[in-house]
Structure 1
Amino acid sequence: MKAVAWLLLACSFPCLLMGQNYLRGEVKDEQGRLLQGVRIQLASTGTYPYYTGNLGSFGIPSSRLIDTITLSYEGYDTLRTAIDTRKTQFFVLKMQPELANFYRARLSSLTNHLQTEPVVPASVMGESYSDIMENRFIQASQYPETGFALNIDKASYSNIRRFIHNNMRVPVHAIRIEEMLNYFSYPAAENSRAFTCQTTVTSCPWQQEHQLLYLHIHAPQLQLDSVPPSNLVFLIDVSGSMDKPNRLPLLQSAFKLLADNLRPQDTISIMTYGGNVRIALAPTGGAEKKKIKAVIDSLSAAGDTPGAGAIQQAYALASHTYMRNGNNRVILATDGDFNVGQSSEKELEDLIVQYRKSGIYLTCLGVGMGNYKDSKLEVLAKKGNGNFAYLDHLGEAQKVLVTEFTQTLYAVANNATVIVRFNPSLVKTYRLIGFDNKRTALNDSTRELEGGEIGSGHALMALFEIEPATTHSSTENLASIDLRYQLPDSASFMHHAFTASNQPIAIEKAEHAYQFAAAVSMFGAVLKGSPYTKDLTLEKVLAFAEPVVDPANIQQEELLQLIKQAIEIYHPSKKRKKKK
């Protein structure tokens, strides 16, 4: 009997040795941020990998008292060192310079003499907006060069519409004029496979002595037969705050519209978060529309909002089904009211920037009112190499996810910026309209632009208000323009050079697109209470817009109705007097 016992003990001895040590530890970066998903290999386990969890921690069995650990994480230097497996280990990974650069506060537009001002919280009725500072006039003789970031964000316009439709004044910080301009279509003169930039100079409708310089930039259009397959992860907020008709039910209808656009070669996954994070639909082919829609219909709202943890897991799922040379994207749909885990703008920024180089894009769809966190979704979209829209009704979902499907979901350029160099002999001062910066970014000393993502076929209109110099020349160019961007899956930058000639025309003689863009800009400026258009009123904006708007264009006609409704909200006494 004793012989048998000794034999059993001898046979089990190797197993006891294998499990006798359990290595524990955590991994952070140099700023103290816990890193999830760090790849860990031990010499004792060969090539089998382990990974850190949500809190950057790990626990791994080891058969050795002294082992060798290798830690690797994209964007960080690989760390390899000997360890004592009996002790808890704390590791710090060093960030590589290219990734560290993304963490620096970046600007939406840039000049070299911007003054910093105190940061004032921007909160309205429980909603949060980034506190922004309007661009001012710049002396061209001292600072002839300026720039701004390109993107396809359009959230501000539909959010403004939501406030006006509810007979409410629009919070000043909710008004981003470049996104109002972005909302509308501006057809290009030609359908090119390369970026184009048309420029026009007109008189300024609110300042007689000034001019407007328009930059109409058009992105190349992907050919339908060359649109790559998509790997999409729908990340849907099903927390308790989403239990209202204009939140989860609206998103369910929106995602079913998107499902109708999926092709057999596309892959769709659905992840939800509300109380906990779960995979509602494992990766499924786009042909299985009935199955996809059934899962969408089955969702219900309850629980708290672990948004940060959900984002991490959604990226992990997108990485697992990653399509090389495909369109890999997480689509986050939420009111932005994260209340568990990392939830501040700075924490979310630090979280999302880790994934910027992953090849996975991010689209943010905002919904709701009262607790809508515009500032958080804006941070995620801009730092996550993505785009941002606000859905106030199903028609907007149709526009974003069906009509503008390729613009929203297929990028043709990353880190896109425009640098404009004005000719001081022709321009005394200039002011970029829109593209206003967060005060927190202005307080940072790096003074660098945050490039944006551009979708297939997107047309962008940017405006400068110019005070002409006393000298005039039709032979010299007013400005030179440098468009700078990266192609998807490319680290190198491409450049396109354009020029703006000095041949101003009256605004009344300009093409319809430019007249309409001026009307949109004027509307935004008056709602903001801009000091640069202080003589403008909503009534004057309406008088300018009425002959400009195309009544056959539903979106343009809607703008006209919004201006009229805004007059009733902002100037009710004038409206009553007029009726008498």
Structure 2
Amino acid sequence: MFFAILAKGQYYLRGEVKDDKGNALQNVKIFQHSSRSIYQTGPWGSFGIKSLLGSDTLTFTIDGYETASKVLSHNQWQTIVLKASTVNSNKSKPRLISLSGNENSDGRFTSTFDNETYFKLVENEFVPARQFPKNSFSLNVNKASYSNVRRFINMQSIVPTDAVRIEEMVNYFNLFYHKPVNNNLFNIETQISSCPWNANGQLLFLNVSARKLDMSKVPPANLVFLIDVSGSMDMPNRLPLLKAAFQLFVKNLRPIDQVSIVVYGGSVGLWLEPTSGIYKDSIAKSIEQLTAAGDTPGESAIRAAYNLARKTYISNGVNRVILATDGDFNVGEKSEEALEELITVQKQSGVYLTCLGVGMGNFKDSKLQTLAKKGNGNYAYLDDIMEAEKVLVQELTQTFYAVADDVVMNLEFNPLLVKQYRLIGFDNRRDAVTDPSSYIEGGEIGSGSSTLAIFEIITSLPQASDSQNIALIKLRYSLCNNPNVEYLNFPVINNFEPFNRLHNELKLATSIAMFGMQLRNSKYLGTTTWQMIYDIALQSANTSNFLQNEYLSLISKADELYNGPKKRPGKRKKKN
């Protein structure tokens, strides 16, 4: 049995929990009302809890039994008997799918789809380079949108427009990564090509590749798992999926790493005290024992997790809270604005945040997006165990080990060569794109990550001189937990390459951007068709790569979903 971190108590509340046949019940969740902490019974159903009060109220819950509350006195051994439940737990009922918009008091829009919430995005428009030559956008690129879109399409459901964030879809695949040379932190590359859907336009690709950290030299990690175990998580694609995901992650812990677990469901409590990565079996067992019940006090849970992370803070180490939830907070502060204020204060401690979203039907994408953005963190959506393995194992260093903070891409176009430009994706950054005086909050860049941004540009001349720069890049960043600002300058040369001769991974990125525009029914689609999207992907995808091969299938499914079944040409054979 474990004990939560509490103020020093004067009394002990002791006892045991049995069923109505006299069998000891272990792993019964015990909620202490005075401290709002959670405990559980040990292997023989016994418990011992510190209390500042001579008598205290405890609530006992476990699946399959009726919940019981009782006032316990410190001077008496108590036997708590739980009766088997005769009422089946409520299961989620099928719901009608609806789409509606509502304006919040601060002017921000959210859209609702089957009780799921998303920020309403405003598509970036063409900006005249002469009036507004400067463009700035945060490189805080999450990857949640692609797996969420995949979930809808695989369920044969139309994708909510505002669930489609094109920059996240493009960067899901970590395309066009080139290792920085000479121990540089970043490698920057640019490429100009023709635009498949607009004969009068061109595409400008900007790529930032971050240095890969040597894990043998990475400092120890202090990780706090903040896991939602509320009643809304009691579905196979929620808590059970998260448990399997964290089990995969635990296998990669090093002895110098430490893990703590804070849970919230009805109340907030410490589930696992800080434990070294050498004790993988103990951590795994603790995760496996999690069960779902109660309401969702997300605000107090976030405070508790950050407080614990600060108490166990490792100087010059990796300190991170990993929040795993469907985002459905229903106790305490619940609005995006209130959570934004909360997390802005908490991140000042130097603790980073990763958000892992799960579930459907009441999934709150807007809340997790807010938390990740304001918490110096990142955000992924887990739609199945393979996605969990990708995020928590294959891309472990990208997800949890940042190489830079507050990263912002500043771009100044040459108005003599560029007439108009449009940033594809990053749609929630529209005001910043058109107003260079706007403040842009940068994001974190993970180890070994590749970030692609794509602009559609209209040039002033039919073909600019090779000796002239299209634009200038000034990359702004800070090293982790270092307030000093660094800058990296890079010219965007006129290295035009016809689209059919473009690097395959840039062509694939173009197909993905077109896919996102099609799902959003963009007004800039031009000549784009589902067949064109598929053809470009087929010509450029590495079909031996599972995710890229799956993308081809996803295009076909989306085409049929939106337009009805069609006969699709066969996939090309792998090259020898």
TM-score, normalising length: structure 1: 0.77
Secondary structure of the 2:566 match is helix
Q: Report how far residue 457 of structure 1 moved.
A: 1.0
Q: Describe the SS at the equivalent of 1:357.
A: helix
Whole-Å separation in 1 of the counterparts to 2:568 and 2:442: 48
Distance 1:295 1:259 in 2: 11
State whether residues 482 and 495 of structure 1, in contact with CA within 8 Å, keep that contact through their aligned partners in structure 2.
yes
CA distance, structure 1, for counterparts of residue 285 and residue 550 of structure 2: 34
Say whether residues 1:207 and 2:198 are aligned partners.
Answer: yes
Instruction: Return the alpha-carbon distance in structure 1 between the equivalents of residues 474 and 450 of structure 2.
Output: 17
Of 510, 515, 518, the match for 1:518: 510
Counterpart of 1:396 in structure 2 is 387
Pick one of 175, 178, 181 that aligns with 2:170: 181
Runs of 4+ in 1 over 2 A off after TM superposition: 117-121, 185-193, 438-447, 574-578
Aligned with residue 566 of structure 2, among 572, 575, 579: 575
Measured in 2, the distance between the counterparts of 1:442 and 1:208 equals 24
Aligned equivalents of 2:429, 2:129: Cα separation in 1: 23
After superposition, where does 1:102-117 map in structure 2 within 5 Å? none
Q: Which amino acid aligns with 1:517?
A: A
| 1:140-151 map, 5 Å | 140-151=129-140
Asked if 1:276 is matched to 2:267, the reply is yes
1:323 aligned residue? 314
Query: Are positions 1:560 and 2:552 aligned together?
Result: yes
**Aligned ranges 1:166-245 → 2 under 5 Å:** 166-192=155-181, 193=183, 194-245=185-236
Partner of 1:98: none
For residues 276-317 of structure 1, give each alpha carbon's deviation from its aligned partner in whole angstroms, at most 9, with x where no partner exists: 001110011001011001110100000000001000000000
Q: Quick one: distance in 1 between partners of 2:449 and 2:431?
A: 29
Counterpart of 2:119 (choices 130, 135, 160) is: 130
Residue 217 of structure 1 aligns to a residue in which SS? strand
Q: 1:508 aligns with which of 488, 500, 512?
A: 500
- Residue 550 of structure 1: CA displacement? 1.3
Does 2:437 align with 1:437? no
Change (3 A) 1:577 1:498: closer
Is the CA contact 1:426–1:473 (under 8 Å) kept in the aligned structure 2?
Answer: no
Q: Deviation at 1:439?
A: 8.3
2:279 is aligned to 288
- Count residues with an aligned counterpart: 463
Per-residue deviation, 1:321: 0.3
How far apart are the structure 1 equivalents of 2:257 and 2:109? Answer: 45
Establish whether residue 373 from structure 1 lines up as the match of residue 360 from structure 2.
no
Amino acid at match of 1:184: F
Match of 1:498 among 472, 485, 490: 490
Range moving further from structure 2, 145-154 or 362-371: 145-154
Q: State the one-letter code of the partner of 1:466.
A: I
Identity of aligned residues (%): 49
- Equivalent of 1:347, from 314, 333, 338? 338
The alpha carbon displacement at 1:367 in A equals 0.1
2: CA distance, partners of 1:433 / 1:187: 17
Query: If each structure's helix is expressed as a fraction of its own residues, which one has the higher value?
Result: 1
Tell me what 1:418 maps to.
Answer: 409
Whichever residue aligns with residue 346 of structure 1, its letter is E
User: Partner letter of residue 338 of structure 2?
Assistant: E
User: How many angstroms apart in 1 are the aligned matches of 2:416 and 2:432?
Assistant: 31
TM-score by length of 2: 0.78
Pairwise CA distance, 1:535:
3.0
The residue that corresponds to 1:113 in the other structure is none
Larger radius of gyration: 1
Displacement of 1:369 in angstroms is 0.1
Q: Residue 190 of structure 1: CA displacement?
A: 3.4
SS at match of 1:370: coil
Displacement of 1:152 after TM fit? 3.9
Distance 1:440 1:497 in 2: 24
1:248-282 CA-partner distances (Å, limit 9, x unpaired): 00000001111111111101000100000011100
Distance 1:444 1:428 in 2: 17
CA distance in 1, matches of 2:551, 2:380: 18
What is the alpha-carbon distance in structure 1 between the residues aligned to residue 180 and residue 320 of structure 2?
A: 26
Confirm or deny that 1:447 pairs with 2:447.
no
Question: What amino acid does structure 2 have at the position aligned with 1:302?
Answer: A
Deviations 1:470-520 (A, max 9, x none): 262211011110111010121011111111111311111011111111011
Q: CA deviation at 1:541?
A: 1.1
Contact 2:432/2:440, CA 8 A, preserved across alignment: no
Letter in 1 for 2:145: S
- Find the partner of 1:261 among 229, 252, 258: 252
Find the residue that maps to 1:565 and give its secondary structure.
helix
Rounded to whole Å, the distance in 1 between the matches of 2:110 and 2:394 is: 36
